[in-house]
Amino acid sequence: MLKEFKEFAMKGNVMDMAIGIIIGGAFGKIVASFVADVLMPPLGLLIGGVNFQDLKIVLTEAVLDADGVETAAAVSINYGNFIQVTFDFIIIAFAIFMMVKAMNSAKKKEEAAPAPPPPGPTEDQKLLMEIRDLLKK
């Protein structure tokens, strides 16, 4: 069983998949940072300084004791976080779409390149063709 697992784990497509998952995770973090740190602040400013992550519907307020210490947390529907994650997904999906489109375009150019013409006959072949032609005559 251990031998079978080793053979499975060392197959090329399993390693390719693992590399893809690792790179995809890192790419996701880069895009998430781009969205959260670069794109969303100006967008929030344009729509009136709204931070999407702060948008929520409070169902019950937090309960505080006499000293102001929270004894029961507030219950809320955090729809702003959902908006943020949806926005992140759209940007990540668009970035991956553009990357795949560029790769497909590069493949088409590679496939469209004409094949080099076949090499001409060698000196030996030319000599044999001359001998054949002479024998026909």
**Does 8 fall in a domain?**
yes
**Does 77 fall in a domain?**
yes
**Does 112 fall in a domain?**
no
**Does 62 fall in a domain?**
yes
13 class by beta-carbon count within 10 Å (0-12 exposed, 13-18 middle, 19+ buried): exposed
Whole-number pLDDT of residue 12: 65
Tell me how many domains the chain contains.
Answer: 1
How far is the CA of 11 from the CAs of 15, 27, 43, 77, 94, in angstroms?
A: 7, 24, 46, 46, 31
For 13, the domain range is: 2-106
The answer to whether the Cα torsion of 73, 41, 45, 78 is positive or negative is negative
Q: Which CATH number characterizes residue 75's domain?
A: 1.10.1200.120
Residue 42 to residue 29: CA distance in whole angstroms: 20
The SS3 assignment for 4 reads helix
Residue 30 to residue 99: CA distance in whole angstroms: 15
Helix axes 12-33, 79-112, angle to 10 degrees: 130
pLDDT tens profile 70-86: 888 889 898 888 887 88
Distance between alpha carbon 26 and the CA centroid of its chain, in Å?
10
**Does 56 fall in a domain?**
yes
**Does 72 fall in a domain?**
yes
pLDDT tens profile 9-44: 777 677 777 888 888 888 878 877 887 788 777 877
**Does 125 fall in a domain?**
no
